A and B are shown apart, each in its own frame.
Chain A
Amino acid sequence: MITYCHECIIPNSRPEQTFTNGVCDACHSSKVKHSSVNWEARRTEFESLLEKYRGDGQNYDCIIPVSGGKDSCSQALIMRDEFNMNPLCVSHTPCELTEIGLKNLNFLRDQGFDLIQVSANRKNYRELVRVGFFKLGDCCWPEHVGIFTAPIRVAVNYRIPLLIWGENSQFEYGGPASRKDNPVLDRNWLEQFQMSGYRISDLTNDGINLNDIKTFIYPSDDELNNVGVTGLYLGHYTKWDSKENADRVIELGWSTNPDGPIEGAYNDIENLDCKWIGGLHDYMKFIKYGYGRATDQLCIEIRAGRMTRSQAIEARCQSSEGKVPWKYIPDFLDYLDITEHDFFENLDQFTNKRLFEKDLQGALLKDNSGNLRPLFNPT
């Protein structure tokens, strides 16, 4: 049975989500965030931690992993302008960078930040996308691995021990209790929460030579200890608000999506940097779990007090969540050199049949655009 949080609209099919008395732990955390956390004390704690790392400006004293998105651009601005750090921004180039994605990376540099773009070779990146799409049900699997690995690699190679991440996603969106108070992102975190159960070593079974995917290989414990690499969540020490982040950067000239909300989403301010991180990636989430990006974004609005649950349900109905993201599918077929038939056959295999209407033979029912008919919706 699919059930929904009583306060937001996240379903119990979301991985790592737990519920207490019908309310999801992200909503519980949100209440904690707004009422029980002593943000002053956290900020003080943060400042004293930063003391140990802050330099005189001649060298970088921290790394900000960035995508060019509203949150990571905000992190960079906050760390430099509020906490007087000297950040080096590091981005891991997505599978297929969009125009707007590049524009926002340029925005970051226009704000005065140095940026290292770690761009994996496209030949093997493509094969990782193939593994992600066909094997793991996530076309952007290598992106998740890359964005949490490349900055660590740069930290080791440049000997910059401190990384500043954004929000603690287990706290903000739901996850195992043990992670919520732990403000550290390490290899085990990456393996537990970002890799869909796959390990880099498994890729050798897919005919990929690990020597050809260096940007995806996490540094060894020795390398990390040698430099003293530490990652801290900005969202643990300051009250995270994604809308505030958006407002901050938009005012400075950051660009929203010119075509409005991306496919499957509610707002036009997220997942702009890759052709498939919105759209197809979110659609794959939808077929597996029965909810997509619009739901995530609307839940954030509810928890921030900017929308009621009923408004969110209405907004979700109006959104394109759950619709086949046709815009960039031709590009994806080209990218992997696969047929539309193989593409949709794979999607159907990953579709959780118990979430959608089927005919008497058990085949999924679709409309003329290939859209599925969900059996469960929040009410």
Chain B
Amino acid sequence: MSLKKRIIPIVLIDGFSVVKTIQFNERRNLGSPITVARTYNTRNVDELILLDIDASLSGRQIDIYTIKEIARQCFMPLTVGGGLRTIADIEAAILAGADKVSLNEETIKSPKILKNAARIFGSQSIVASMDVIQKNGRWQIYSKVSDIDLDALEWLKQLEDNGAGEVLVNVVEKDGMMLGPAAEFAEAIANASRVPIIYAGGVSSVEDCITLGKLPLAGLAMSSIFHFTSLTPLDCKLAMAEAGIDVRLN
């Protein structure tokens, strides 16, 4: 009897469609968010992460219509993120049906938001998302809108101190590449963490799931693997279970 390792599909939306990025850059338009969400609901996935990747860049509010529609028929936990800048934004997302919200850019611009949000909504509802890249052999934070030079593990500590309930780590250079995860970094951050860590970036096979599943990560998040291969979340979990990793199979 113990907490299960989670397999969490990430669905990226750009305000109109589901998209998949490669290294946070190139994009493929994959169609209707409702279709994708219902597919994952059918699969009884552990959770779903929905990220509006244009909201920050274009300065608009997160796509509430889509969140509402997806949440309506989703009986699994839903984390929503993208362009959440204020407490009002977070409240709107939660009222639209999100169980947890993911904050990224805003935590860099004004770190206080984490503390305030955790105070109001409970830290268990607040996921801090961090995008990381490797520069000169060192893992550091990557931001689309701010110029920042900050060590990844240092930043993790700050996020935890400020009340993040969970941290979602996205490895930019592995994103969408289908070439495997940054396993060493995943191990480092898993061991350094005090809160649950969800790893995302490059997971492309059941072997990758098993490798990461053996680390003290709370869950693995992935996207390309489900859009572009025949693998489903259940396939990944069955392989992990066979390798002795505790996952939810019912």
Contacts and interface: CB of A to CB of B under 8 A. Distances in A.
**A–B direct contact (CB < 8 Å):** yes
Interface of A: 2, 12-18, 135-138, 176, 187-188, 191-192, 196-199, 201-202, 205-206, 288-289, 349-350, 352-355, 362
Contact of A354 (B15, B32, B226, B227): B15
Interface of B: 15-17, 28-32, 34-36, 38-39, 42-44, 63, 65-66, 69, 72-73, 226-230, 232, 234
B229 A352 contact: no
A188 B15 CA distance: 28
Given A349-B69, A354-B16, A12 B42 contact: no
Nearest to B73: A349
A99 B17 CA distance: 36
B31 A196 contact: yes
Contacts of B226: 197
A205 B233 CA distance: 13
A196 B32 CA distance: 9
Contact of B30 (A15, A191, A199): A15
B65 A199 contact: no
B82 to A, nearest CB: 14
A197 B63 contact: no
Contacts, number: 88
Most buried by B among A13, A14, A288, A352: A352
A201 B31 contact: no
B29 A197 contact: no
Given A136-B39, A353-B66, 7 more contacts: A15-B31, A196-B32, A196-B39, A197-B227, A288-B32, A349-B73, A353-B65
A63 B29 CA distance: 32
B34 A349 contact: yes
A192 B35 contact: no
Given A15-B29, A192-B228, A201-B232, A354 B35 contact: no
A358 to B, nearest CB: 9
Contact of B42 (A135, A188, A362): A135
18 contacts: A13-B17, A13-B29, A14-B29, A17-B29, A135-B38, A188-B230, A196-B35, A196-B39, A197-B35, A197-B39, A202-B43, A202-B232, A206-B42, A349-B69, A349-B73, A350-B32, A352-B66, A353-B66
A160 to B, nearest CB: 25
Contacts of A136: 35, 38-39
A36 to B, nearest CB: 23
A288 B31 contact: yes
Contacts of A138: 35
A197 B43 CA distance: 12
Given A199-B230, A202-B232, A352-B16, A16 B43 contact: no
A354 B69 CA distance: 12
Contact of A202 (B16, B34, B35, B42): B42
B39 A354 contact: no
Contacts of B232: 199, 201-202
A152 to B, nearest CB: 15
Contacts of A176: 28
A354 B63 contact: yes
Contact of B65 (A14, A137, A362): A362
Contacts of A349: 34, 69, 72-73
B193 to A, nearest CB: 32
A191 B28 contact: no
A188 B229 CA distance: 7
Contact of B16 (A13, A197, A205): A13
A13 B19 CA distance: 10
A198 B227 CA distance: 9
A191 B35 contact: no
Most buried by A among B28, B32, B73, B232: B32
A339 to B, nearest CB: 18
B32 A352 contact: yes
Contact of B43 (A15, A17, A205, A350): A205
A362 B67 CA distance: 14
A63 B201 CA distance: 41
A243 to B, nearest CB: 28
